[in-house]
Amino acid sequence: MTKFILDAYSLCYGSMRRRTLTHEFKIWGLLSTSPLGERTPPQKPVKTQEPLTSQLDRLVGLVQKFTEFVSARETLGDDDDTLRFHELCLALYDTLDGEQVKEFIGRYIHPQGVLRLLAHLGLPKALSTLLSDPSKHPGLLSLPASGQCQWSVTVLDPSRGARQFSTTVTAAHMAERLGDVHVPGPGKISWEDAMEAYSGLVVKTGDFGTGLEWDAARSLLSTPGAVTAHPETTLVQHLVERARGDARGETVTYYIACSRLPCYASVRYVDAVNKVVKPTSRFTMCTTNPDWCRLDVAEPWILPEATSAAVVATLKAEMLWDLAALLH
């Protein structure tokens, strides 16, 4: 399964590196300063026990190796280089996941630091868990060793269909794109009212979302470069395409495991897919309720490549109904 590990990092290393050097850079910096045991509030000196001190010293060394590695390499080198990075990430994850270390860092370094870094290192841990020897981890669902394998592993390229997100946010543009919309139940959508609400909630606060830029002169909301479809939607689209070639006619339910709560658009997308592809397939996630999805953070969202016109139409109708309900 070495090839599986190599393929996964070939697709994901760039994203891991960007997060290390941007979103989590401050936390990594705090953890790379030695000795950690002395980084406590002066009014409450902490006496660390020897086992914890050793763990913290080990953590500092691993963090320094990790940050030096990603800072020096825009891309991974040969296969051995990739596997060394994988082992480094696993060692770092296991050290950060220790109860004493988590408690110490949460109390004295950064309250959410460990959780954010463990999420950042989720890929190496997931690969390790998936490929673990089941004899050493009873009850763990693992891939059999090469030669015995009856599993098929497909690595999806997240860059497929990547493009810039860009939209003009004005009443005139919305009316031109979507027309005069009457939604059964809530009623007619006033684009002037919608833009007034958007201006009050977003424009005036400047909270446009992660990775989005606002051009006030043109009322243009966009990303500086290409963005990819959210991974859960990419996987659903892949499974939809594969199901088209399945002539068995059986209804298959797919559970899409997400590393965090899916966003509103992804939840609505999955609902639209379910309405279009039934009864051959059904998709579910940790939530399929648009009222219980991730609403606190806005991020660029684009449709996966090759999404059918029927899914697009269904998705648009659902989102317009939600908008009308909010405005009324």
Q: What is the pLDDT along the chain (328 residues), one digit of tens a residue?
A: 688 888 888 888 888 888 888 877 778 888 876 566 555 444 444 454 547 888 888 888 999 999 999 999 999 989 999 999 999 999 999 999 989 888 888 888 888 888 888 888 888 888 888 776 555 555 444 454 444 445 566 778 878 889 999 999 999 999 999 888 888 777 889 999 999 998 888 888 888 888 889 999 999 999 999 999 999 999 999 999 887 655 556 678 889 988 788 999 999 999 999 999 877 788 999 888 888 888 777 889 999 999 999 999 999 999 999 999 888 7
Q: Taking the mean position of all CA atoms in its chain, how far away is CA 50?
A: 37
The token pair at 143 is 């891939």
What pLDDT was estimated at residue 18? 85
What pLDDT was estimated at residue 37? 52
Strands 252-255, 281-284: pairing kind: parallel
Going from the C-alpha of 100 to that of each of 23, 33, 56, 105, 118, the distances in angstroms are: 25, 18, 9, 9, 15
pTM: 0.63
- Say how far apart CA 214 and CA 172 lie, in whole Å: 18
What pLDDT was estimated at residue 272? 95
Q: How many residues in the chain?
A: 328
Q: How do the domains of the chain map onto residue ranges?
A: 2-130, 163-227, 231-327
| Nearest CA among 2, 31, 19, 256 for reference residue 121 | 19
